[in-house]
Amino acid sequence: LAAQIHSDGFDIQNRAGPVTVKLEAGGLNTDVATLAPLITGKIDVDLAGSVSKDAIAVDQGTLRSDALNASLTATVALADLSMQLKMNADAVATAFPPQIASVLGARVKFSASAARDPQGSFAANSIEFTSGTLSAAGTASMQGTDIQADIKGKLGDVSVLSPTVGVPVAGGVDFALSASGAMTAPDFTVTADSD
């Protein structure tokens, strides 16, 4: 692991100024099975922003691995840990579980704008996901132990599902998913229309 923190003109007395952070790792280990394929190989993290008594701002951040290219901007208020975050990511489809990867193209593109309020509630106000003929967009939020999500999308070519369902299928499908309630047992509604 190699790490570098740099600041031109940081005011130590007032704890304020610009900051850049660079991290390089030959690899990372994690117990989170869904995260491990995304952080395989060499990892590079570059962050540029500022620190003040009131907030930490990341004006430009990047994370790169063999499987993932991601960029982000973020602001965190130190008094209450409220946060604003925007992220764009591009990952290889093989980093996802095989059950999902079968409907994906070669790469997966994801973007989101999210916020955390002072009470700890989290909201992703704009989520977009595209890969191959699959696209989806929507919102999601969490307040305490309750979640709310509304996602709409389209799989333009359902023939990729033929091996899974055991019969030849063709065409496209529009779908909508909503979930609400306790995170441990939310109510789900899924609708689909095929052409």
pTM for the whole structure = 0.81
Mean pLDDT of the chain: 93
CA 137 from centroid of its chain's CA atoms: 13
% of the chain surpassing 70 pLDDT: 100
Give the pLDDT confidence score for residue 195 in this predicted structure. Answer: 76
User: Higher model confidence: residue 151 or residue 101?
Assistant: 151
Give the pLDDT confidence score for residue 41 in this predicted structure. Answer: 87
- Euclidean distance between CA atoms 94 and 152, whole angstroms: 24
* Three-state secondary structure call for residue 162: helix
Q: What is the mean pLDDT of residues 119-126?
A: 93
Query: Is residue 67 classed exposed, middle or buried when 0-12, 13-18 and 19+ CB atoms within 10 A define those classes?
Result: buried
For 57-76, the pLDDT digits (tens) are 999 999 999 999 999 999 99
142 within 8 A of 121, measured Cβ to Cβ: yes
- Euclidean distance between CA atoms 11 and 18, whole angstroms: 9
